């Protein structure tokens, strides 16, 4: 009989790493879960140590805290004298997220995104064409050129290779992509005993680190949306928390479109991570809210923006981390109007889906 067997969770402990490295890995995970609250993360870590004996008589949590400060992960140099993580710790959190979400990916060449077009570029393609004056010598396909010379001139005593025999390998034209990642921070992201915001943050940090390291000429803007929408910096992601908000998808899309209008890249796209339907709309200075079912007024404004994005050739890919039938109907209608993509994902598979869609969109012009 097939099924699942649940056992007691034991924090990972790599014997090849020293105590500090093992504790650091767990600590950075806890900081992400606590929204950057170092004191709470250290309290959780102390409780885990009591239960699982992660330290030893020669190295305790106090020693670990001192090492965090010495190695530049923590600082107390602020007005309140509280522990705060440093930029080094924030970067380590992003790198850990990248390894966790995209760790199975093979290393690839850094640079720009490939398209289906050929032209001036850095990466070799598979197409061949005759040599033209001005082509780089390293583009010449030696085997094909020698074969052409033998076919055209035979196997006589004097080997002859002319310009007409030369073939070159066409380089693939490479372009840039501008992406806006929208993250839902409405209250439902932590309802029903399920933490949905932490996986969303990890995916955002992994995508940000992937773009910064492998596609540095791409742009990534991150916005969050609840009752309103606002832009955040990549360094703010570990501190992101859910608020007592409804879901104003319209505000998020409006801000995303404004950001993309300022980008000069020809390829633009929006990724939206959400777990529910739009339930809020700002009318003047007031908020129009309705969390009971799909409100036709809110839906109409949301679909108008989906159509505008389509007109501007900005596809919206929706990652719905919920599977209620009526939510699927909303996403289906939104996707049809925008001509974008939609995925209904568990939290576990969210990162893989986002990367696959990001990679696929690199191969086409919008």
Regarding whether 331 and 220 lie in a shared domain, the answer is yes
Host domain of residue 231: 177-365
pLDDT greater than 80 at residue 349 = no
pTM: 0.71
Looking up residue 317, the CATH number of its domain turns out to be: 3.40.50.410
Regarding whether 356 and 295 lie in a shared domain, the answer is yes
Regarding whether 166 and 232 lie in a shared domain, the answer is no
CA 305/CA 240 separation, integer angstroms: 26
Regarding whether 252 and 213 lie in a shared domain, the answer is yes
Tell whether 278 is covered by a domain: yes
Tell whether 93 is covered by a domain: no
Q: Which helix (H) or strand (E) segment is 168 a member of?
A: strand 167-175
Regarding whether 350 and 316 lie in a shared domain, the answer is yes
Query: Model confidence over 86-131: pLDDT tens digits?
Result: 999 998 998 888 787 666 444 333 333 343 443 444 455 556 778 8
Share of the chain above pLDDT 70, in %: 81
pLDDT greater than 70 at residue 366 = no
Query: Model confidence over 173-231: pLDDT tens digits?
Result: 566 889 999 999 999 888 777 788 888 888 889 888 888 887 888 899 999 999 999 99
Query: Model confidence over 257-310: pLDDT tens digits?
Result: 999 999 988 889 999 988 888 999 999 999 999 999 889 999 999 999 999 999
Which of 142, 172, 202 represents a domain boundary (last residue)? 172
Closest CA to 85 of 231, 238, 243, 191: 238
Regarding whether 200 and 155 lie in a shared domain, the answer is no
Tell whether 109 is covered by a domain: no
As a whole number of Å, the end-to-end CA separation of the chain is: 48
Regarding whether 346 and 212 lie in a shared domain, the answer is yes
Strand partners, 230: 224
Regarding whether 246 and 159 lie in a shared domain, the answer is no
Sheet holding 219-225, edge to edge: 229-232, 219-225, 177-184, 267-274, 316-320, 341-344
The predicted pLDDT at position 106 comes to: 42
Which of 172, 191, 211 represents a domain boundary (last residue)? 172
The predicted pLDDT at position 266 comes to: 83
Regarding whether 27 and 163 lie in a shared domain, the answer is no
pLDDT greater than 80 at residue 8 = no
- Please, what is the angle between helix 38-52 and helix 61-70, to 10°? 140
Which of 107, 140, 172 represents a domain boundary (last residue)? 172
Structure token pair of residue 267: 């390829």
Tell whether 235 is covered by a domain: yes
Tell whether 102 is covered by a domain: no
Regarding whether 216 and 337 lie in a shared domain, the answer is yes
Total count of domains within the chain: 3
Tell whether 6 is covered by a domain: no
Regarding whether 135 and 81 lie in a shared domain, the answer is no
């Amino acid at each position: 009989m097939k099924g699942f067997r649940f056992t007691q969770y034991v924090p990972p402990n790599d014997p090849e790493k020293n105590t500090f490295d093992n504790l650091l890995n767990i600590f950075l995970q806890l900081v992400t879960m606590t929204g950057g609250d170092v004191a709470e993360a250290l309290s959780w870590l102390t409780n885990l140590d009591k239960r699982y004996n992660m330290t030893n008589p020669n190295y305790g949590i106090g020693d670990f805290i001192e090492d965090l400060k010495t190695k530049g992960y923590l600082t107390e140099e602020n007005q309140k004298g509280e522990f705060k993580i440093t930029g080094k710790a924030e970067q380590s959190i992003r790198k850990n997220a990248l390894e966790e979400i995209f760790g199975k990916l093979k290393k690839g060449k850094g640079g720009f995104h490939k398209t289906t077009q050929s032209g001036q570029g850095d990466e070799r393609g598979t197409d061949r064409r005759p040599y033209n004056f001005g082509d780089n010598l390293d583009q010449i396909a030696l085997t094909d050129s020698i074969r052409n010379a033998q076919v055209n001139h035979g196997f006589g005593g004097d080997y002859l290779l002319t310009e007409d025999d030369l073939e070159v390998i066409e380089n693939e034209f490479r372009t840039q992509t501008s992406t806006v990642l929208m993250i839902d921070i409405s209250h439902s992201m932590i309802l029903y005993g399920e933490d949905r915001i932490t996986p969303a943050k990890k995916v955002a940090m992994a995508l940000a680190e992937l773009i910064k390291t492998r596609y540095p000429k791409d742009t990534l803007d991150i916005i969050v949306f609840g009752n309103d929408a606002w832009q955040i910096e990549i360094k703010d992601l570990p501190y992101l928390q859910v608020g007592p908000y409804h879901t104003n998808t319209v505000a998020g899309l409006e801000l995303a479109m404004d950001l993309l209008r300022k980008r000069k890249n020809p390829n633009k796209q929006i990724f939206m991570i959400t777990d529910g339907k739009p339930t809020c709309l700002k009318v003047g200075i007031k908020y129009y809210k309705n969390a009971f079912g799909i409100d036709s007024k809110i839906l109409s404004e949301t679909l108008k923006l989906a159509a505008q994005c389509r007109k501007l050739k900005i596809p919206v890919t929706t990652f719905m981390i919920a599977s209620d039938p009526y939510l699927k109907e909303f996403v289906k209608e939104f996707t049809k109007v925008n001509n974008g993509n939609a995925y209904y994902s568990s939290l576990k598979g969210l990162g893989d889906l986002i990367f696959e869609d990001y990679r696929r969109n690199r191969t086409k012009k919008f």
